[in-house]
Amino acid sequence: MLGRYEDAVKSMRAIASSLSPNECMIRMEWKMLMRSYKRCINERRMAWRKLNGEAEHENHSTEMLSVMTSYKIQIAWELTELCQEYLKLVEDVFPTKTTCDSETTVDILKSVADCCRYLLEVEPGLIWKYKEKAASLYREAWTICSTIFPPSHETRLGVALNYAICLYETIGEHQLGIEIAQIAVDDYAMHAEYPSSPSNTLLLLMSNLQMWRILRRSDRIG
């Protein structure tokens, strides 16, 4: 299946790169571009995180650790290349070559912020380059979402989730991350139509919020 998304990346990259100054990408083209890159990036991110976790918590022979380290470096390189390629492509095409509705604009801002966050995960040394960019793009997407989408809208919840994770886990702004998550959960509770089943995104927000509060209390006690 991954090979299909690799092909989709090549096709969408060719389409985006071939646009003349007067041509625009429509929402469907943007969605295909974002989805294809996201799938390829997520495959590598999941592999990198699994390798990272196993190297830290499992007992392996020296030889196996060497193989895992080499493979993790390769995966990190591929992930970095894909993210930087996507960032450059979006920079070249958006906003000068597209007329976007608000939802597409939010999707693009979030996807670029996500890539910056992924780069910070695998290349902490790049924090000077991507820390402020990730936070700024998430903040811009969150501001738009809070204005045009109801609190139960999945896009709004998704932006809140990723923004809060970036602040708390990647950048280290713990209190602000908690505040963003709490705002999203409170807004949902105030405006949701009952009875309603919470989405997986909302449940993740609530779960992370609970975990972060426990960690903060533990830090203060310690």
The tokens for 113 are 């912020």
The yes-or-no verdict on residue 160 having pLDDT over 80 is: yes
Q: Are 80 and 123 in contact (CB under 8 A)?
A: yes
Q: Would you place residue 196 in the very low, low, confident or very high pLDDT band (cuts 50, 70, 90)?
A: low
Q: Would you place residue 130 in the very low, low, confident or very high pLDDT band (cuts 50, 70, 90)?
A: very high
The yes-or-no verdict on residue 99 having pLDDT over 70 is: no
Question: What's the pLDDT at 58?
Answer: 65
Question: What's the pLDDT at 129?
Answer: 86
Domains and CATH numbers, the chain: 1-100 (1.20.58), 125-222 (1.20.190.20)
The yes-or-no verdict on residue 4 having pLDDT over 70 is: yes
Q: Would you place residue 168 in the very low, low, confident or very high pLDDT band (cuts 50, 70, 90)?
A: very high
Q: How far apart are the first and last CA of the chain?
A: 47
pTM value? 0.88
**Angle made by CA atoms 168, 173, 179, in degrees to the nearest 5:** 75
Highest mean pLDDT among 93-102, 190-199, 211-220: 211-220
As a whole number of angstroms, the distance between CA 29 and CA 110 comes to 16
The yes-or-no verdict on residue 86 having pLDDT over 70 is: yes
CA-based R_g, the chain, Å: 19
Question: What's the pLDDT at 1?
Answer: 44
The yes-or-no verdict on residue 128 having pLDDT over 90 is: no
